[in-house]
Structure 1
C-alpha cells in the first residue's frame, strides 16, 4: 500500500511538471495568433502604419 501511495505522489508531481510546458505552449500559440492578426501591410502593425487621412 505504501508503494502505491508513493507512486501516486510521484505521478502527481510529474503531471504538474508536464502541465507547466503545456500552459506555456498554449500561451505561445495565443501570442503567435495575436501577432498574425496584428500584422498587416508588409508585416507592419496597424498602429505603426502611416495614416491615410488628410
Structure 2
C-alpha cells in the first residue's frame, strides 16, 4: 500500500515538472542549462573530495 502511494506521488511530480517545462521555452532552456551546470559542479566537487581523501590516506 505504501509503495503504491510513493509511486503515485513520484509520477505526479514528474507530471508537474513536465508541465513546467512546457510553460515557457526560453526559461526552460536557461533552467536546463543551469541545472546541468549545477550537476557538473557537484560531480567535480565530489571527484576532488575523493582525490583529496585518497591523497590524505596515502600520506598517512
Give the TM-score, by structure 1 length.
0.58
What is the Cα deviation at residue 25 of structure 1?
0.6
Which sections of structure 1, spanning at least 5 residues, go unmatched?
41-54
Higher relative contact order by CA 8 Å / sep ≥ 6: 1 or 2? 1
Structure with bigger helix share is 2
Secondary structure of 2:27's aligned partner: helix
Which runs of at least 4 in structure 1 moved beyond 3 Å after TM superposition?
Answer: none
Give the TM-score, by structure 2 length.
0.53
Q: How many residues align?
A: 39
Higher-Rg structure is: 1
Secondary structure of 2:48's aligned partner: helix
